[in-house]
Chains A and B, each alone.
Chain A
Amino acid sequence: KQEVTQIPAALSVPEGENLVLNCSFTDSAIYNLQWFRQDPGKGLTSLLLIQSSQREQTSGRLNASLDKSSGRSTLYIAASQPGDSATYLCAEVGAGSYQLTFGKGTKLSVIP
């Protein structure tokens, strides 16, 4: 069974710092990986999708990378802002699968 792990469960950083969130997965035949943001009591907002043939994707201050050989993805956030405070979830789709398998998320707090 596919498993997705996100460490740490919580992270607190001062405003302006660059930071990296980690996501590891056990499925070597990954199809794609998606990063989401979730604000308290809200649904999920898609941030970036990386196909298995890609190494990274960028959107504004966000950059996500994918390393299938090591089973890892990272989400890099540049120049963090208090508005970035949220829970960040990664989810992978395995080859032959029809569902997203989620990690438990990293709760990010950016301190002004």
Chain B
Amino acid sequence: DGGITQSPKYLFRKEGQNVTLSCEQNLNHDAMYWYRQDPGQGLRLIYYSQIVNDFQKGDIAEGYSVSREKKESFPLTVTSAQKNPTAFYLCASNPGVRLNTEAFFGQGTRLTVV
């Protein structure tokens, strides 16, 4: 089955720790995205990548980092600099960078700071 796989589904982090969220796609899509979803605020873009070894900051990149070493993988690291990391994180992909076709989303990772 083709699709986007996010892992883990639930993640707990102690304050001061870095954690990495995994996103893998087997759709052969060029573009990949990370969004954060908070209650009452909708989805906000953290980072996006249009091609391997290249990525761009979104609206709320502070406290996050990404890499795009392989076309199918776009991991997100939530660093200790992120002051309020508790949220639902969604990864998405699209065949082309211009988003002229449907974007596909993973099932999300819920991160909780304990």
Residues of A whose CB lies within 8 Å of any CB of B are 31-32, 34, 36, 41-46, 49, 51, 89, 91, 93, 97-100, 102-105
Contacts and interface: CB of A to CB of B under 8 A. Distances in A.
Interface of B: 4, 6, 31, 33, 35, 40-43, 45, 48, 50, 56, 58, 88, 90, 92, 97-108, 110
A99 B98 contact: no
A31 B103 contact: no
B83 to A, nearest CB: 22
Interface centre among B43, B58, B101, B103 (most CB of A within 10 A): B43
A42 B107 contact: yes
Contacts of A89: 42-43
Nearest to A52: B100
15 contacts: A31-B99, A36-B105, A41-B108, A41-B110, A43-B6, A43-B105, A43-B106, A43-B107, A44-B105, A46-B103, A49-B102, A93-B99, A100-B103, A102-B43, A104-B42
Contacts of A97: 99
Contacts of A46: 102-105
Contacts of A45: 105
Contacts of A99: 33, 45, 48, 58, 99
Nearest to B58: A99
